[in-house]
Copies of this chain bind each other. A is one copy, B any other.
């Protein structure tokens, strides 16, 4: 049974109806989008080829044709999810550095709220020693943290030194812990407080350096 519904038009066109002729690359891309949506509310262990086939309304055989095996399928979905995270948290081109940082961390909180289970399973898998997940996770983290130095090339909020690189890495681990803990249970902490700490902490930490 396909449970692809009206609010997922891209996936419904993928569902083998033949209404739209797509290239194999486009079909694969749409299946990845569906995989990412399914991962939002599931761990990676719960995301099977069978489930994707059922949701997309196509055969398991066709999915194996696109992705090879379950491992490669998971890797492709997680890479897509990490790319989405990087794209969605891109700061605006213009504005004050701190304002742009606040917009970026707000998008990060939004992303984790919308994709909690999948994001948690990426973090856990990466930390737990799955080499592929670790690699994707580190790539995403590097993209997110390198961006801070690239976007702030004048060093307005952070000069680029070995110590500030280390601090940004620590700050990144802190924001991850803050958002994962808060989304699971805000415990009386407002969204405004969370965002204030996440954004304002970075320049505050840099200022501490001797």
Contact = CB atoms under 8 A, between A and B. Distances in A.
Interface stretch (A22-30, A46-54, A119-127): A119-127
Q: How large is the interface on A (under 10, 10 to 19, 20 to 34, 35 or more residues)?
A: 35 or more
Nearest to A178: B170
Interface in A111-130: 123-125, 127-130
Given A200-B208, A208-B197, A166 B189 contact: yes
Count of this chain's copies in the oligomeric assembly: 2
Q: Taking chain A's interface residues, is the majority helix, strand, or loop, or is none over half, making it mixed?
A: helix
A122 to B, nearest CB: 11
A163 B177 contact: no
Contact of A163 (B128, B176, B193, B204): B193
Contact of A187 (B166, B192, B197): B166
Contacts of A171: 174
